[in-house]
Structure 1
């Protein structure tokens, strides 16, 4: 009997503390501003960038196209259309990088991918899929700016 009462009390404290933790942090205004659903999640489009079919570009052409690629990344990020981007380390799968687009359809993401000079020139190939993740990802760039040292 004592063990049953002890377990009941322990369970009650556990549930009470869990309920307090989950209810106290919710920010409805922030959730709405990020288009979060009741789970704090939303749809994105995940883009896997792979080595493209263009093997004839010169070093100078590739360099110019990748400068345009980086400029395009910056533009899409400033517009709020791109929440995460980055290269993969050397690998044997021809994976070059990824984008996470802040759009809800593959068609919308295709328009954004088409604006990338390296993709247009077939130096990179994009593979797109719908992805469901935390709506808070959209805040990544704001945090990134706070941890990036300015160029001197």
Structure 2
């Protein structure tokens, strides 16, 4: 009887502890600065980078184009137009990487894609799709700078 009473009390206390809501602190200034809607979300453009049609570029030319590709990524990130970028691991779909552009329209994203030397040279091909995600995604680069021991 003691054991069953103990278990009942334990489960009731556990239930009460888990059922309490945590207080959410809405930061209106932060939400406005990130252009968040009422749900804390905003529009972006997701870019899937695939292997392009250029298979004749020399190793030296490819190296130079990808150096320009990386410089362009860093430039767009510093301008706040690119919130996430990164390569895919080896895969059988010809997926090479992604960009998440901090713009609302495909047309705006096309202008940014056109600044990438590897895309201009058809080493990479970009597929653009409107995307809706947390506005907090824009804070990712600030956090990354704090955790990256070595800079790219």
TM-score with structure 1 length normalisation? 0.86
Q: Determine helix, strand or coil for the equivalent of 2:140.
A: helix
User: Is 1:98 the equivalent of 2:89?
Assistant: no
TM superposition shift of 1:149: 1.3
Distance 2:138 2:146 in 1: 15
Distance 1:21 1:127 in 2: 40
1:3 is matched with none
TM superposition shift of 1:64: 0.1
Runs of 4+ off more than 2 Å: none
Q: Determine helix, strand or coil for the equivalent of 1:132.
A: strand
TM superposition shift of 1:148: 1.0
Equivalent runs, 1:108-123 vs 2, <5 Å: 108-123=108-123
Distance 1:21 1:54 in 2: 54
TM superposition shift of 1:150: 4.5
TM superposition shift of 1:21: 1.8
RMSD: 1.7
User: Is 1:21 the equivalent of 2:23?
Assistant: yes
Equivalent runs, 1:1-152 vs 2, <5 Å: 14=19, 17-18=20-21, 21-22=23-24, 25-150=25-150
Q: Please, which runs of 5 or more residues in structure 1 have no aligned partner?
A: 1-9
TM-score with structure 2 length normalisation? 0.86
Aligned residue pairs, count? 137
Q: Determine helix, strand or coil for the equivalent of 2:54.
A: coil
Q: Determine helix, strand or coil for the equivalent of 1:21.
A: coil
Q: Please, which runs of 5 or more residues in structure 2 have no aligned partner?
A: 1-14
Q: Deviations over 1:38-94 (max 9, x none)?
A: 110000000000000000000000000000000000000000000000000000000
TM superposition shift of 1:119: 0.1
